[in-house]
Structure 1
């Protein structure tokens, strides 16, 4: 996710230790990017990964097969859930 300088209108502020700033500046130089571009690119990659981690679950073939088998089994009675769903939720108006 990369944005051109002219398209940027939102301002973000952050504080870093001198050591963090040094590392970020060195890395930006090595990547031939401005500090802003480097930090934004890295932050956006991390943000996208965090969001994907909430939607994508990686499992082995055997784990996936076990899940399919569990989902194909007929449902069984669950007294705890029956009790839970029979109660009025705390947020419901009386």
Structure 2
């Protein structure tokens, strides 16, 4: 019986069916990054999987820290930096 670990270098096939327009788009993006279609899809899928799992991260804090966190969120912004940000020219406005 073989054990599986994070350093396992064996690969397995994954078959996907995609519309032609999606395949063309993926191929164009892969070429723009100097990658094969497979390498591009694997990298994009891995990043999406990591993001999905990181979005599920639960942070536990003690009750006092949580109350402090909520109090900070409830305070209106009032710093000089915030004022500068709100008064800065907007790129979408002429």
Distance in 1 between residues matched to 2:56 and 2:68, nearest whole Å: 18
Which residue does 2:52 correspond to in 1?
Answer: 50
- Corresponding position: 1:27 with 2:37: no
Q: 1:64 to 1:54 in 2, by over 3 A?
A: farther
Distance in 1 between residues matched to 2:31 and 2:57, nearest whole Å: 34
Q: Which has the higher helix share?
A: 1
Q: 1:56 to 1:27 in 2, by over 3 A?
A: farther
Which residue does 1:65 correspond to in 2?
Answer: 69
Across the two proteins, how many residue pairs are aligned to each other?
57
Distance in 2 between residues matched to 1:67 and 1:16, nearest whole Å: 48
Bigger Rg, structure 1 or 2: 1
Matched position secondary structure for 2:14: coil
Distance in 1 between residues matched to 2:10 and 2:50, nearest whole Å: 19
Distance in 2 between residues matched to 1:31 and 1:39, nearest whole Å: 12
Which region of structure 1 is more displaced relative to structure 2, 22-31 or 7-16? 7-16
The structure with higher relative contact order (CA 8 Å, sep 6+) is 1
- The runs of 5 or more residues in structure 1 that have no matched partner are 1-6, 58-62, 69-94
Distance in 2 between residues matched to 1:30 and 1:54, nearest whole Å: 32
